[in-house]
Structure 1
């Protein structure tokens, strides 16, 4: 279980003075001497500043140890943890960051005790307690201090062989489910079938039938092209040709990303366990995000769809 790590991470992030340095210090408290340390980079934009935090947790057969086990990326996507001064407290949009920071703490704690994963795990998110908001239908979105391209550049790393993108996805009416859902796999502009092995992990960690978030072609195109996106959950897929799966924190009713008091720690903790179990199985080759031969066949028959990862040329 990951309850203590989830509660501690929530208490850390539900603070108007929280920062990337505070997250790095928090994670260091779970790290053995000589263990990995989080990297923090502050980036300023037209709408403010935010701290990007990234940590690599080595696996016993991971590339950092000279091995060949695959590397999993776990990204917490959000606009911000808070919308101060417009809103007081932790906003719903922060659940993605909360999930991955709690997962990082648990994985570090496991490693300190001797439970080591096979492959490397790279966890990244950003920390902003006073992000702006923006209008969105059916409920307001959180905005971000920096452009999505900047977030992708700092969070999506070339060593990631597959990526889980965790994002609050409550501001919609297409999935009426309280818990978390996964998306179909997205790879290089293709929306592929839902991974059976990820469905298996979702089933065992929740004890109920897995939920799947429906996505559209619009959702896997870059922000800035003027079309509707359900949210930023699949924006990492625009910055890599590795397979990406969204982990959506969902509700039965539409809840604004800027709403406070909307974080359900029971749901967050279940998502924490899910990403940890995926990390365990991915490094051992038990979780597969996509069928590689089938993907190759699709590309051979119909051509590349990588153009969907780019913004259109404008005259």
Structure 2
């Protein structure tokens, strides 16, 4: 996995990094496929979206499973989302920035899954990996350190990255600009589903401990963190924003630091930590599709809904999903 991370980072650390180039890098891991085979093949897609503050390229990789929906099976589909504002903040900052770690981890996970598929290792369920590539994103004032902004807003990111086929989502994001997580490596959030912050299942803690070789590390969430951006409330960052656009459970996988590090800082990415996040995502994909790991307790969720009712209104702005922003976007 570390080799995948190094190759992905080498490509992303460029002012010309884009979606087509990212697809080209990933196709190397897939290799040449036999044109005569009728087997379902991985799908690699990119789409450029341009708004008032610039543009970015969304990248999606779908790897079919042995019993996944693409094969008309019933195995669940895991979504792996690399969440970020941008991989670079040019011209203000030269080079790959800390905020890009989520994209690097997701793309390294995609590379690993594609290589596995090429070699004949098939997971049970489908896996959809999505992120976006923007080497010149703006920055945003924030306390205690500046955030990376994005040329498109979170509603647009969710529109292109959160797919309805996803039965659960691992959202990977750099989460270093805070005083809450004083640990370098990775950390898991509680699962969030339809406005509820739920207990972390033992399955995820077990997988995290296996991958890291150390004790499980988690981080807290507030109600504000799981509401949509744009409501004027304080958020830890955008790591749980996919939870505002799906009814599936979403778990945040944070790439963390022991000190407060701005997302707009260059030279702040640790390849080994990115590889940890990518490996955890792949291991969760293996077990989730096979039914040996879950991302939330379905019975507990049903019980809390019966007792206290739906909290789905926390997923909305002013009581309704705001998709009007998409009308101003130019899709290429």
Partner Cα distance (2:186, 2:59) in 1: 24
Q: TM-score, normalised by structure 1?
A: 0.98
Provide the residue aligned with 2:130 in structure 1. 124
Distance 1:84 1:222, change over 3 A: same
Provide the residue aligned with 2:22 in structure 1. 23
Q: TM-score, normalised by structure 2?
A: 0.93
Show the 5 A alignment for 1:1-315.
Answer: 2-32=1-31, 33=33, 35-312=41-318
Partner Cα distance (1:213, 1:43) in 2: 33
Query: Residues 313 and 319 of structure 2 are in contact (CA less than 8 Å); yes or no, is this contact kept in structure 1?
Result: no
Partner Cα distance (2:110, 2:42) in 1: 11
* Most deviating of 225-234 and 30-39: 30-39
CA deviations 1:40-79 (Å, max 9, x no partner) are 1111111110000111100001010111100000000000
Unaligned runs of 5+ in 1: none
CA deviations 1:1-55 (Å, max 9, x no partner) are x121111001011111010000111111111416323111111111110000111
Partner Cα distance (1:126, 1:243) in 2: 21
Q: Secondary structure of the equivalent of 2:79?
A: strand
Partner Cα distance (1:270, 1:310) in 2: 33
Partner Cα distance (2:181, 2:87) in 1: 23
Query: Residues 24 and 37 of structure 1 are in contact (CA less than 8 Å); yes or no, is this contact kept in structure 2?
Result: no
Quote the offset at 1:194 in angstroms: 1.0
Partner Cα distance (2:4, 2:43) in 1: 17
Partner Cα distance (2:139, 2:129) in 1: 25
How many residues of Structure 1 are paired with residues of Structure 2 in the alignment? Answer: 313
Partner Cα distance (2:106, 2:146) in 1: 24
* Most deviating of 236-245 and 285-294: 285-294
Quote the offset at 1:313 in angstroms: 5.5
Q: Secondary structure of the equivalent of 2:313?
A: helix
How much is the aligned-residue C-alpha RMSD, in angstroms? 1.0
Partner Cα distance (2:173, 2:314) in 1: 21
Partner Cα distance (1:313, 1:167) in 2: 27
